Chains A and B, each alone.
Chain A
């Protein structure tokens, strides 16, 4: 067991160790300082020229958002059409069929918004063309969109008073050429060396030891699996995601994939410190996020390593912990760690089945996605955290008898309104969606859909409730992992999930950027000794408390009916 824990600690430390210099590098890239990848500049200039973009144009927050939303609209239309007709298009050696309209809708949105919820299975649901030119493409651009939007926030915080948040196109292009592509090259190469397929051949036929023949799906998977983690996307090449032996062959690749999904979110935090020259704020935030992550990880580890009490009561020893739904090559500790990292960071890739985790672990995964701001996804994690910060600044400011201000700008009614709306939206989408699902399950169980509502759940009772709650929590958080017990490829889940993913992506991006733009426009207020220091641990703790209380108050009842009821019933 000690070796298993050592593996987790080593993985975590390695991530931090790599994230720090990467953060420094990212700050340099966006400051326009000299970096080793400056040879990419002609490529970037070419892209700008081809796109008809004036790289010198400064954008205010509205122009920035308009550019971002417009290009996203183009991508989603493109993705929708390709999924809809993929069966008739080239690069389809296995002859996989086209998607139904509702599944296309869901899948196109899912990859556009960096969620990567997959209501299909990779082996049979998509073709090499859509895997590469839709899914992998969207995995790059959605991650870059998130990072670009975060850099807009950086720009708002950096200047004392400014209208401009930077040029979306330039930041976006640089994110891909200077950050995502180089990192993916490294990760993809390492994965390929360790056995992940990278070929255009169709299914392979293998004869097993028992003499059966098995069809094994393959494809140019290594690159996609690299960006799936580097870009905190999480959508796998194969249906079983990173539990699949070709997607995640051994403990080394497991570590590699863990490191690469946490790398950019952590590095962006350090980049924040370097970029706006408030390192202490970045370090304190990093500490608070790490504490938050540990608060979720430790109960999960304890529950998984301890094993299932129901099995223990039958008199069966579980020296390896709870092994249901886990891969023997990773074990319960690495699986528990992965399950928390993938949910705090909104990756949503899995190396074990979350449906099979202990109720406590399930609750921690849910909480991680409800909060969605302990590191969080590429760019968007810090944007989510920023919303909590605004609310914390407001309450804390009042508590020290001063009109609240954040980094020299007064937080007033308009900013509070936006922050409150964003917070409200998550609670509304998650609980509203789950309530709707419950309503159909209870009152319209026999609706004539692809799967009858009464047959949605593999498990009745509390766990079934958790499955539905998990699905909407995951879609709203743009996480994309699932409690696989849910039969989700039908019109209800595809359509509601699609809308929730869209809202859960763009409102929490628009909100913080609007706040950043509004604040940056205001007059700068120099710090005095009466100003609350936002880079201290007191304020960090305040933010942490705000996160805890907001989450607890919003989600206590559904959690009580799902994982908590299940825990006390075990």
Chain B
């Protein structure tokens, strides 16, 4: 699925506008302590306006009070709008994913049907329940998430992943999951439904985004506490100002008190806080990752260790033949021909890569009277017998050596050296013999994904340690680990090794993430702080993890870490910005309050604002409009740069700290100049 590029498509804005009024109900306002106080301020101002309308003289003009009332009301609406638009965007995204699977005709299997057993009838997908079976043939759209119980099929998952290359899914093993909305291209499969309607991961995610089941994350709670205490500090400032003003013989209007209070409390971050959290989940969804909780995204930002499978993540698929090394006295062409012949019937990726490397078309070979010898665990080699005369064998070097020695020939010393050399370079040597004569060695190598080193470098700068998990022997594993630039590796890994490694890291206080797809990964996925299950994986794996990657892309963990970091950074920087804004607001409002009785305080009016009324109005207006100005930043997140924590802090302090002090001085002055036309 590709995303809409615009941050504010029309339909979403309309929905968000509606929601910002719906959210005015006190019950939903109460969830956000900072904005709730603004809400109360607005109500107080409404009463003041009525009072002034009824003839009160001490509170300034009705127009001024009304203006303050309107601006406060808009401030609350802006904050609601920020939350609503983040929700609407998330919902829209999840909905478009969900739409693909609604009302698809499903060929349901009735175990006891109307006419015979195992009868197949077409029903709407909405009628499928967990545990039901359905079949899909070439051209069908899969109606529901499920697990293949019979058969194998090629499936086009582009509706979910955007990736057009078809994938193979088959019963049993780790690639047995199918997702609703994807299309079967060939063959026929029988699938068992694994989720109740309305309980798929997408449904859960939508509920999360909509706020019904959204829980505040630990950092969000801590920040809310800090913001609430700032709000209290400013409440004290405003309440104590009344006796201070009495001492200084200065009457202060209720409008001025409420304005000062609303300007000082951190409304900017308070209004954007929930939008930032939702946007984090949105961004994960944009990366085609479904998160089961907001906390998982936040935890991702703190990860210390990533466990990555070698195959598919660090290396491209499987080993490939990279070199033919003929033995002494053997012509290269002869050797290559023997290799090709031995590999003609070899369907493994390694076998195919040998033919690929030889650069020949296998169909041009006439292989009359050929008898192919399959690989077995005992012989540890495979090969071909031609015309009963030529016996070509290909296999592990010690197996071939045994064949050669049995025939009374010598396995050349140079070949032995070659075998050792390849192994120590991280490669896999395959020896080839013909009629008991050693012919040479084929070198197979893992191909490291291009650009993977840079990604690991980036992770290292973020402070994340990468660990490669592989079934290879330690020598090969070490070589690939060094070449790819991972920090550690687990060689000859069994499923429980992953689990043990995760436990060990966690005991050391580290947060660990891993990606997996198999059922035997499930315990480790559950143990990991962030477990990302591949969408193609088994149901058990998907249940165990706290995220599901729709793209089945093992490098996705890196993006997830960045999304988590962005989430925290956006909160931190906007908090700093919001608090820093108060400096300018003080300089606008405090002189305005006391200028009539303490003319000397005019010296504090460094912005030279026109009148006390326009100063207060400008500050309140700035306070309101800064919220929508920052919505794009809240939704997109502050860019993360892996430049080290201290450098990042300096950078963000400069931009959002100094910026937070300077911007409102300019903004308030500009608004004051504009207001001069109206007042």
Given contacts A416-B222, A556-B586, contact A536 B646 (CB under 8 A): yes
| A557 close to B652 (CB less than 8 A) | no
Given contacts A533-B646, A552-B583, A561-B248, contact A526 B569 (CB under 8 A): no
Residues of chain B with a CB closer than 8 A to A416's CB: 222-223, 225-226
Closest chain B CB from A348 CB (angstroms): 24
Q: Does A412 contact B (CB under 8 A)?
A: yes
Q: Does A58 contact B (CB under 8 A)?
A: no
Q: How far, in whole Å, are A565 and B249 apart by their CA atoms in the complex? A: 14
| B594 close to A438 (CB less than 8 A) | no
Which among B568, B573, B657 is the interface contact of A402 at CB below 8 angstroms? Answer: B568
| B649 close to A432 (CB less than 8 A) | no
Chain A binding surface, main DSSP class: helix
Given contacts A564-B604, A568-B603, contact A399 B648 (CB under 8 A): yes
Q: Which of A394, A400, A558, A560 has the most CB of B within 10 A?
A: A400
Given contacts A434-B244, A529-B461, A538-B649, contact A403 B219 (CB under 8 A): yes
Q: How far, in whole Å, are A395 and B460 apart by their CA atoms in the complex? A: 23
Residues of chain B with a CB closer than 8 A to A423's CB: 229, 233
Closest chain B CB from A204 CB (angstroms): 44
| B233 close to A545 (CB less than 8 A) | no
Using an 8 Å CB-CB cutoff, how does the interface string of B536-575 with A read, 1 for contact, 0 for none? 0000000000000000000000000000111111011101
Which among B248, B264, B564, B601 is the interface contact of A401 at CB below 8 angstroms? Answer: B564
Closest chain B CB from A122 CB (angstroms): 32
Q: How far, in whole Å, are A465 and B243 apart by their CA atoms in the complex? A: 11
Residues of chain A with a CB closer than 8 A to B219's CB: 398, 403
Using an 8 Å CB-CB cutoff, how does the interface string of B214-230 with A read, 1 for contact, 0 for none? 00001101110110110
Q: Does B576 contact A (CB under 8 A)?
A: yes
Residues of chain A with a CB closer than 8 A to B228's CB: 420
| A465 close to B248 (CB less than 8 A) | yes
| B565 close to A402 (CB less than 8 A) | yes
Which among A401, A413, A434, A558 is the interface contact of B222 at CB below 8 angstroms? Answer: A413
Which among A395, A402, A525, A549 is the interface contact of B645 at CB below 8 angstroms? Answer: A402
Given contacts A397-B572, A399-B649, A438-B244, contact A523 B604 (CB under 8 A): no
Q: Does A62 contact B (CB under 8 A)?
A: no
Closest chain A CB from B87 CB (angstroms): 23
Closest chain A CB from B225 CB (angstroms): 5
Q: Does A524 contact B (CB under 8 A)?
A: yes
Closest chain A CB from B293 CB (angstroms): 15
Chain B binding surface, main DSSP class: helix
Q: How far, in whole Å, are A431 and B580 apart by their CA atoms in the complex? A: 22
Taking CB atoms and an 8 Å cut-off, the chain B residues in 339-377 that contact chain A are none
**Given A561-B594, A565-B601, A568-B603, 12 further pairs, Cβ under 8 A:** A394-B226, A395-B572, A395-B576, A398-B575, A399-B576, A400-B652, A401-B301, A420-B228, A529-B463, A532-B649, A565-B600, A568-B600
> Taking beta carbons and an 8 Å cutoff, which residues of B are in contact with A?
218-219, 221-223, 225-226, 228-229, 232-234, 236-237, 239-244, 246-248, 264, 298, 301-302, 304, 460-465, 508-510, 564-569, 571-573, 575-576, 579-580, 582-583, 586, 590-591, 594, 598, 600-601, 603-604, 640, 644-650, 652-653, 656-657
User: What are 29 A-B pairs with beta-carbon distances under 8 A?
Assistant: A391-B226, A398-B575, A400-B648, A401-B569, A402-B301, A402-B565, A403-B218, A403-B301, A403-B302, A413-B222, A416-B222, A420-B229, A424-B232, A435-B239, A435-B240, A435-B242, A435-B243, A438-B244, A443-B246, A525-B509, A538-B649, A542-B649, A542-B653, A549-B580, A552-B586, A553-B233, A553-B237, A561-B248, A565-B594
> Taking beta carbons and an 8 Å cutoff, which residues of A are in contact with B?
391, 394-403, 408, 411-413, 416-417, 420-421, 423-424, 427-428, 431-432, 434-436, 438-439, 441-443, 462, 465, 523-526, 528-533, 536, 538-539, 541-542, 545, 549, 552-554, 556-558, 560-561, 564-565, 568-569
